[in-house]
Amino acid sequence: MYSEVDLVCHSMGGLVASSYVQQFGTNLTNNIITLATPYEGAPQLINATLHWRLLDDDMGSTFDKGLAFGSNIGLGLAGLQKEVKANFPSVAQLAPTKEYFKTSCWFGYPYTENKTKYYNAIDYKQYEKICLDIFDDNFKGAQTFHADIKNNGINILASYENSYFAIGINQPTISAIWFNDGISLGSLKCDNLSYEYIGDGTVPYQSSTMIEQLKNIENAKKRVLLKTASHSGMVNHGKNEVKTAEVMVWVGDILSDTPTKIQSDKITSKDYTVIKVACPVDITIKTENGVISSTSENFSEAAPFGRLDFIGENDDIKMLCLEGWDNYIVNLYGTSDGTMTYTIRWFDSDNELVDERVCDDVPVTANTIILTDTNNRTDTVLNIDNDGDGIIDQTRAAIPSTFDIQKSIVPTKGTLSVNSIILISIVVLLLLTVAIILLRKVARK
């Protein structure tokens, strides 16, 4: 008969444990160990809700691989549509919190100017409305849930001396979402994704560290472990993981009350490359370290050098986040008749956009094959084989984008625009000048 139990919780299990402690206290618990918990939510869960795919590629290995594109889509076709996913209270509880929202820049309400699409930076009230459009009352419940498991602005587990936190780092992770102008679950979509390279591939660093408050808790060096591992790799079953068994050794040492030799890894912020392909094409990048591909034959959403995400209507837009500014070879395969827009961006280790190039309205058929690369020191050229016979029929050069990220970061509806502020400032200066002149005339009299 045991008087106390240890809890080892992965991902949302850490939130469940937090709720248990909030409701029942810690009289029956000894150690509480959480692994890769999204304490402040994860943007990826919103994107996963807004399209018909499931939440994690690693789930694919446990289901029927005979289904097209693996089990993720298979289960989606079986009925797990976005209306169903949005109806789970637990999914709404994984939407980014107000505290996380403040650490990143989110966009919405797109508009076009001089044939260039811009987005407004949205505030929390607008983000809240979007989440209510997606999750309905479940989002209100999620807000209450997160408020209840916090004490003085930090998760209740942080103050429990026998709590421990393992955090995955140094993986490409969705950090924010750019929404279209939809106003309902049916019409809302992700137009674009922002990334970071210090999260665990699912949970951003700011979320898993309670907005970096974990580094200030008592005995943080002993109780907090940072490991270069993906979200699923924290429990040692992910693909292409390195040293993730160390997390389990660390857990075992805690449970056996043994001094551990496992040390935290350092955060290594990285330059990275982002590719966005507005279809109809599939994309494949293959290196000696693995393959990322949206094709049915070689489908893979993750490799040691990057990740693949799907956004847009029926997952028709593919986005890739690739480590570094290396010269990856990009293969594009037409899937039907239409036109493609190819966008490539380079970001530095501070997540600042360094360069962006775009190739618009590229004609594509089901036989088209396009070859290009990610070298940012030379021109970006699409080598197009129209009929798949191995002969390059034409080339198209991507041009530097006129998109200015700073132009998109402007006040949204209900606030003053930059031009309005300038105009008001000029008027105020004129009025002050007139007032000074009048005062001088009065003084002379």
% residues pLDDT > 70 (the chain): 81
Q: Which of 1-5, 52-56, 285-289 shows the lowest mean pLDDT across its residues?
A: 52-56
Here the tokens at position 161 are: 């001396």
DSSP state of 300: B
In a domain, 265, yes or no: no
- Residues 309 and 247 placed together within one structural domain of the fold: no
- Residues 325 and 234 placed together within one structural domain of the fold: no
- Residues 321 and 282 placed together within one structural domain of the fold: yes
In a domain, 212, yes or no: yes
**Average confidence score pLDDT of the chain:** 86
- Higher-scoring residue by pLDDT: 109, 258: 258
- Residues 31 and 152 placed together within one structural domain of the fold: yes
- Residues 310 and 164 placed together within one structural domain of the fold: no
Instruction: Render pLDDT for 142-173 as a digit per residue (tens, 0 to 9).
Output: 999 999 999 999 999 999 999 999 999 999 99
- Residues 45 and 159 placed together within one structural domain of the fold: yes
Which residue among 224, 255, 286 closes a domain?
A: 255
pLDDT for residue 425 is more than 70: no
> What CA–CA distance (Å, rounded) separates 295 from 288?
19
- Residues 235 and 279 placed together within one structural domain of the fold: no
Mean pLDDT is highest, among 80-89, 199-208, 231-240, for 199-208
- Residues 161 and 246 placed together within one structural domain of the fold: yes
Instruction: Render pLDDT for 356-413 as a digit per residue (tens, 0 to 9).
Output: 999 999 999 999 999 999 999 999 999 999 999 999 999 999 999 865 554 555 443 3
- Residues 348 and 425 placed together within one structural domain of the fold: no
Instruction: Render pLDDT for 121-143 as a digit per residue (tens, 0 to 9).
Output: 999 999 999 999 999 999 999 99
What pLDDT does residue 77 have?
33
- Residues 186 and 296 placed together within one structural domain of the fold: no
pLDDT for residue 326 is more than 80: yes
Instruction: Render pLDDT for 249-291 as a digit per residue (tens, 0 to 9).
Output: 999 999 999 999 999 999 998 999 999 999 899 999 999 999 9
pLDDT for residue 338 is more than 60: yes
- How many folded domains does the chain comprise? 3
What is this structure's pTM?
0.85
- Looking from the CA of 240 toward its CB, the CA atoms found within 13 Å total 18
In a domain, 50, yes or no: yes
In a domain, 74, yes or no: yes
Instruction: Render pLDDT for 292-309 as a digit per residue (tens, 0 to 9).
Output: 999 999 999 999 999 999
In a domain, 185, yes or no: yes
pLDDT for residue 96 is more than 80: yes
In a domain, 119, yes or no: yes
What pLDDT does residue 420 have?
44
Please compute the mean of the pLDDT values over residues 207-229 and round it to a whole number: 96
- Residues 14 and 107 placed together within one structural domain of the fold: yes
Determine the structural domain holding residue 226 and report its residue range: 5-255
In this prediction, residue 113 has a pLDDT band, given cuts at 50, 70 and 90, of confident
- Residues 26 and 165 placed together within one structural domain of the fold: yes
In a domain, 85, yes or no: yes
Mean pLDDT is highest, among 117-131, 318-332, 418-432, for 318-332
In a domain, 408, yes or no: no
